[in-house]
Structure 1
Amino acid sequence: MPRAVREQQMMDAAVRTFGQRGYRAASMDEIAELAGVSKPLVYLYLNSKEELFSACIRREAKSLVEAVRAGVEPGLPADRQLWSGLRAFFTHTAENPDGWAVLHRQARSHGEPFVSEVVVMRDEIVAFVTGLIGAAAREAHSDPALADRDVAGLAQALVGAAESLAGWANDTPGVSAKEAAATLMNFAWAGLENLMHARPWQPPTA
């Protein structure tokens, strides 16, 4: 078997083991057995447990970012672009629950260097969503009504909500990717649409 194929086979086993057992509880013996190879071969290809986990984070992060980008069709109205991006995000996390567990739960809870790997992925998604919200503002106004800081804050809030909702949807039987995306769209778009048309909520005066 070619090295690249064997390596991906071991990575698949590692993602499944880390996602279901957790980083600390997972053992290289389990990963090797699931992959159908010897433990020395895992070490030969992927060095250490830490390096293997980092490689899993990078692979799953790259796959998620590519899925979200591919899900958005340029040229559609702003709400359709956001909807298709959310559908792609929740579809990917639902179809790859172990990968999402690695990114959302395991990597974030075991410090460096794992947290930094996830931050890179999150920053890329936030930047992409920032572009979508900025495009929506330009669509609603020939001169954008939202300041760059507001757009950046909204993107952070939307991505954070999507991350939490994906974890809940994967843990809740019967919740489909479409339902999760619709839940967030209903929560977010009503507010975003008002902002796009200069109807922001204002805190009460003292």
Structure 2
Amino acid sequence: MGAVKTKRMPRAVREQQMLDAAVEIFGRRGYMAASMDEIAELAGVSKPLVYLYLNSKEDLFTACIRREAKALVEAVRAGVHTDLPADRQLWDGLQAFFAHTGQHPHAWSVLHLQARTHGEPFAAEVAAMRAEIVAFVTQLIAVAAREAHRAPDLPEHEVAGLAEALVGAAESLAAWANTTEGVSARQAAATLMNFAWAGLGNLMGGRPWTAPPEPQPLT
């Protein structure tokens, strides 16, 4: 009898299978401790095939970062409908963010922890992803705030600072939620809305907090 022939898996499908395995191993063990042997075994392929497709451990890690960063940005953008009120847009965006990071904890570990601590090329990939999310949130806050109290001259740096603070808080909260049992995406989003919306709501209503006057130098 002749050998049984099996259908060859398309390269693109096989590559995604390898990336799935790599994200899990990198997320669980960290970049330095992860081995190509483990990744190949989990993917169900030989180690030489992983090298043939993705060249090196560094290239494999970079491919993981790029894929997961793109997926996160797309999830957040897809969750927001710009025809809704500003608070609803923010709520939907936060829910999309926390749902994605909660459903893909290994990917979030790769983006939030591993990529930032293992060299500039990796950190730069994540920084590009983060900048895209910050720009998206900046635009959301800017449009809503200016329309709410008719202030077209609201300082750019103030809006940008709010977006940076909000994204930073979301990143930290996602890391906490993924390691705290029983915290859902909806609960995490509600926590951040309660923390942030009081201030944003006042800003959009024309009631910004005013800092006390700076002390005058003694003469």
Task: Tell me, yes or no, whether TM beats 0.5.
Answer: yes
Name the TM-score class by shorter chain. over 0.9
Amino acid at match of 1:46: L
Are residues 1:6 and 2:49 paired?
no
The alignment partner of 2:206 has SS state of: coil
Are residues 1:86 and 2:85 paired?
no
Are residues 1:165 and 2:194 paired?
no
Are residues 1:15 and 2:38 paired?
no
Are residues 1:60 and 2:68 paired?
yes
Q: Quick check: 1:15–1:98 contact (8 Å CA) kept in 2?
A: yes
Q: TM-score, normalised by structure 1?
A: 0.98
Aligned residues: 206
Q: State the alpha-carbon separation in 2 of the partners of residues 6 and 87 from structure 1.
A: 31
Are residues 1:197 and 2:173 paired?
no
Q: State the alpha-carbon separation in 2 of the partners of residues 13 and 41 from structure 1.
A: 14
How much does 1:148 deviate?
1.1
Are residues 1:29 and 2:48 paired?
no
How much does 1:144 deviate?
3.0
Q: TM-score, normalised by structure 2?
A: 0.92
Q: State the alpha-carbon separation in 1 of the partners of residues 211 and 162 from structure 2.
A: 17
Q: Quick check: 2:149–2:206 contact (8 Å CA) kept in 1?
A: no
Gaps of at least 5 residues in structure 2 are: 1-8
Q: State the alpha-carbon separation in 1 of the partners of residues 171 and 82 from structure 2.
A: 23
Q: State the alpha-carbon separation in 2 of the partners of residues 148 and 204 from structure 1.
A: 22
How many percent of aligned residue pairs carry the same amino acid? Answer: 76
Q: State the alpha-carbon separation in 1 of the partners of residues 82 and 124 from structure 2.
A: 30
The equivalent residue for 2:147 is 139
Deviations along 1:56-104, whole A, 9 cap, x unmatched?
Answer: 0000000000000000012000000010000000000000000000000
Amino acid at match of 1:124: E
Q: State the alpha-carbon separation in 2 of the partners of residues 134 and 190 from structure 1.
A: 16
The equivalent residue for 1:107 is 115
Are residues 1:130 and 2:138 paired?
yes
The equivalent residue for 1:184 is 192
How much does 1:145 deviate?
5.7
The equivalent residue for 1:47 is 55
- What is the aligned-residue RMSD (CA, Å)? 0.9
Gaps of at least 5 residues in structure 1 are: none
Q: State the alpha-carbon separation in 1 of the partners of residues 203 and 145 from structure 2.
A: 8
